[in-house]
Amino acid sequence: MRLLVYEFASGGGLAGQDVPASLAREGAAMRAALVTDLLAIGCHEIVTTADARVRCGLPRGVEAIALPAGDRAREAALDRAIDTVDAVWLIAPETNRCLERLARRVARRGRTLLGSDAGAIARASDKAALGRRLAALGIRHPLTRRLTRDVDSAAAAAQFGYPIVVKPARGAGSDGISLVHHSGQWPRAIALARRAGGRSGVLLQEYIRGTAASVSLIADGRRALALSVNEQILAASPPFAYRGGRTPFDHELAPRAVAAALDACRAVPGLRGFVGVDVVLTESEVAVIEINPRLTTAYLGVRGSVDGNVAALAIAACAGDLPAAPRVTRSIEFSASGRIVSCEPARRERGAA
């Protein structure tokens, strides 16, 4: 197949606009890793888009199409790129329904989407409604409430108790998320969430103390397969910031994290390809925080830790062929920019599926 990889931040989705340096680096790292793995399959022609301001770091043999500045010109160029390929792999934020709209766009143009369909993206990225979906399956999720005019800092403190997580109702990564410890931090946290989430609104959420982690999976639309449990390395709030991770995460609750992530995927039919489920591991339980219906930065560690081509496994899952779980052979620590901090033989992973 001829495949288009469209990574929004580094691939021209913000051409002509300001691109935060950290976001561009993270996006470029995911794009470079993914196209490298797709090339390694050996039977696909790989095309990607580019923002001329972002250093590519792409392997040889990949065709890069620069997207121009200006909304109409950029959208027209992207449409032309989509029309020249058989399938499209999207990496984009859920903010302002960006990923969802792109998925619908690919479907309208009759191309195969190597990832979750638009309906699944909409369901997974609606953080206000996700708790109800998870609760129906008995999955632990933090108490969540949408910010409204009748909810002030005093009312929120009475319901949640400090500290309180303030976040965009639809967003990606840690952008716009703050941990509020007292009423004086309230205005800044809400402003950050509104700026990051656009028109999606702001959520208030119970803070669950524990260790931040994620479960990386591949899904075929009905079923999911866990690849690894990953520790998340976060900077202190406010605001939160993702710094990288460690894969696999040898934690006593890793098997329960896998089980919770698989249950969470069942709550959202239509998830396909690579999927990430963010969790918090407390001393005694696992809480599911979010479902990411797309490639996540944890891919940078997962691809190096398992014995197999993760991109090939995800493509097979999109076609309805959910393969056996690859063996975890290495322990990887990586930065959000894609730098491998350490690599060593993996110990037995407690959370292996």
Per-10-residue mean pLDDT, the chain, length 353 = 93 80 84 94 93 76 88 92 97 90 96 96 89 88 82 77 86 77 86 78 89 96 95 72 89 96 94 97 94 95 94 96 91 88 75 43
Please give the Cα distance from 59 to 298 (Å, whole number). Answer: 20
Q: What is the CATH number for 80?
A: 3.40.50.11770
Residues 198 and 247 grouped into a single domain = no
> Do 202 and 216 fall within a single domain?
no
Our CA dihedral for 107, 109, 111, 117, rounded to 10 degrees, sits at: -10
The predicted pLDDT at position 351 comes to 42
CB atoms within 10 A of CB 129: 15
Mark whether 80 and 168 lie in a shared domain. no
172 found inside a domain = yes
**DSSP secondary structure code for residue 21 in this structure:** H
- The predicted pLDDT at position 216 comes to 97
Host domain of residue 174? 143-206
Task: Round to whole Å and give the CA distance between 306 and 320.
Answer: 21
Q: How far is CA 315 from the centre of its chain?
A: 17
Per-residue model confidence (pLDDT) at position 350? 43
Q: What is the pLDDT of residue 150?
A: 60
CA 57 to chain centre: 21
Between strands 211-220 and 164-168, the pairing is unpaired
* Cα 170 to Cα 98: distance, rounded to the nearest angstrom: 10
Q: What is the pLDDT of residue 352?
A: 44
Query: Per the domain annotation, does 235 fall within a domain?
Result: yes
Q: How many CA atoms lie within 13 A of 175 on its CB side?
A: 17
β-pair type (241-247, 330-335): antiparallel
Q: Quote the number of domains for the chain.
A: 3
DSSP 8-class letter at 306? B
Same domain, 159 and 243: no
